[in-house]
Amino acid sequence: MLIKRKRGWELPESAVTPEHIYLNRRNLMKAAGGGLLTAAGAGLIAPGFAAAQQDWGTVRGASEGDPTADLYPVTRNPAYTVDRPVTDAEFATTYNNFYEFGSHKEIWRAAQDLEIRPWTVRFDGMVEEEREIDIDQLIRAMPLEERIYRLRCVEAWSMVVPWSGFQMSHLIDYARPLSSARYVRMETFLDPDMASGQQQAWYPWPYVEGLTMDEAMNELAFMVTGMYGQPVTRQNGAPLRIHAPWKYGFKSLKSIVRITFTDERPLTFWEEVASNEYGFWANVNPEVPHRRWSQARERDIATDEMIPTQLYNGYAEFVEGLYENRQDEALFM
Ligand SMILES: Nc1nc2c(c(=O)[nH]1)N[C@H]1C(S)=C(S)[C@@H](COP(=O)(O)O)O[C@H]1N2
Ligand SMILES: [Mo]
């Protein structure tokens, strides 16, 4: 199967990238041509990238005293950027979905109750060896980079965020799954005393999400540990969340404590709540409406501008190939 797609580095980036970074990229390209750049080579990008001063607005609920604060900002990977301005941090950190802390958008203060240390992540199921690992050990073992990604919620709002973290494929290598594993199932914490939303018994806590192994290995799938050049805030899913930007936002699970490799498709949180409205695949498609509203356009949460939604949220060239042999599936709900 030969897939012709534009590589990330062929995308126009001048729209959101300050000129000195853009120019630096040419040195990067030279390095790539000279064979200096490997797949995990984000760390090789000229130091000038990380030094870039950005005015991205105020991060609310910044994780003060976060033991990983010294790691940020991290080097930007210029292969992942978008043709839309970065969303002011004030909006991205005060307009959230995190049902563990309430079923409305204004949960950012309540989410400060989230205790982010000590925090461990458990790897189990079809792995060579089940393990539980301390979050700081994990974060410090991974090659961190910054990527500017779109996020499109199924509720038809969207934003653009500079996330920091590491490619999910590195996490999978680290977890050492068996070749028989077909899905990655991810789970959020369960602690109704800490997270009052979890006292609402009609939701199937804890929040669970999942990807197929090939989706999880796709270069776009990203484990988030930071945002706007700082550790990720509690309301945005500290200390570890995923972002799969070609899918609706509900696939991007926050505050992960457990990662299970399995050969059974996981039943996800929203599927369990309403399987006729929210499916497993949940790929963004402007032409497939939600049962109760159109998905053709989306509202930018900072400007309220209505903009056209793109197939796979603008990432078709990266992910189309994943679905060539899955056309009989409900890929867009
Ligand atoms: N654990 C958990 N993860 C979650 C959610 C949630 O309620 N709980 N909401 C999801 C939804 S619907 C969206 S749109 C995004 C929102 O991410 P943001 O608050 O960083 O914008 O988080 C996703 N991850
Ligand atoms: Mo969402």
Amino acid residing at 79: A
**Cβ of residue 269 lying under 6 Å from some atom of ligand 1:** no
pLDDT value of residue 19: 38
Q: Which residues neighbour 277 within 8 Å (Cβ) at sequence distance 6 or greater?
A: 270, 290, 291, 292, 333
The predicted pLDDT at position 31 comes to 41
Write down the pLDDT at residue 53: 53
Report the residue among 106, 190, 250 best suited for mutation to probe ligand 1: largest number of ligand atoms under 8 A from its CB: 250
313 lines ligand 1 (CB under 6 A): no
Distance CA 97, CA 108 (A): 9
Is-contact 323 312, C-beta < 8 A? no
Q: Which atom of ligand 1 approaches the CA of 255 most closely?
A: 1
Confirm or reject: Cβ of 101 under 6 Å from ligand 1: no
State in Å, rounded, how far the first CA of the chain is from the last one: 26
Residue 250 Cβ inside 6 Å of ligand 1? The answer reads yes
Architecture of domain 56-323: Alpha-Beta Complex (3.90)
Cβ(158) – ligand 1 distance below 6 Å? no
Q: Tell me how far the alpha carbon of residue 287 lies from the centroid of ligand 1, in angstroms.
A: 23
Q: Is 207 in the pocket of ligand 1 (CB under 6 A)?
A: yes
- Ligand 2 centroid–CA 97 distance in Å is 6
Which ligand has an atom closest to residue 155 CA? 2
> For residue 186, what are the β-bridge partners?
209, 259
Cβ-contact 172, 260 below 8 angstroms? no
- Encoded amino acid at 23, one letter: L
Q: CA 302 to CA 58: how far, in whole Å?
A: 13
The pTM assigned to this predicted structure is 0.87
**135 touches ligand 1 (CB under 6 Å):** no
For ligand 2, the distance from its centroid to the CA atom of residue 252, given in whole angstroms, is 9
Atom 23 (ligand 1): residue with closest C-alpha?
250
Rounded to the nearest angstrom, the distance between the alpha carbon of 37 and the centre of ligand 2 is 36
99 Cβ inside 6 Å of ligand 1: yes
Strand order of the β-sheet with 120-125 is 131-134, 120-125, 256-262, 183-188, 208-212
97 lines ligand 1 (CB under 6 A): yes
Return contacts of 11-14, CB within 8 angstroms, 24+ apart.
11/79, 11/81, 11/83, 12/83, 13/78, 13/81
Name the DSSP class of 138. Answer: H
CB 236 less than 6 A from any atom of ligand 1: yes
What's the CA-to-centroid distance between 92 and ligand 2, angstroms? 13
Element (H, E) at 184: strand 183-188
Q: How far is CA 309 from CA 152, 160, 188, 196, 316, in A?
A: 8, 13, 29, 34, 12
The response to whether residue 96 sits with its C-beta less than 6 Å from ligand 1 reads yes
Q: Which ligand is nearest to the CA of 242?
A: 1
pLDDT in tens, the chain (333 residues): 444 444 443 444 434 444 334 334 434 444 444 334 443 344 444 444 444 557 899 999 998 789 999 999 999 999 999 999 999 999 999 999 999 999 999 999 999 999 999 999 999 999 999 999 999 999 999 999 999 999 999 999 999 999 999 999 999 999 999 999 999 999 999 999 999 999 999 999 999 999 999 999 999 999 999 999 999 999 999 999 999 999 999 999 999 999 999 999 999 999 999 999 999 999 999 999 999 999 999 999 999 999 999 999 999 999 999 999 999 999 999
Cis peptide before 239 (omega within 30 of 0): yes
Q: Coil, helix or strand for 25? A: helix
Domain ranges of the chain: 12-46, 56-323
* Residue 32: closest CA among 18, 22, 42: 42
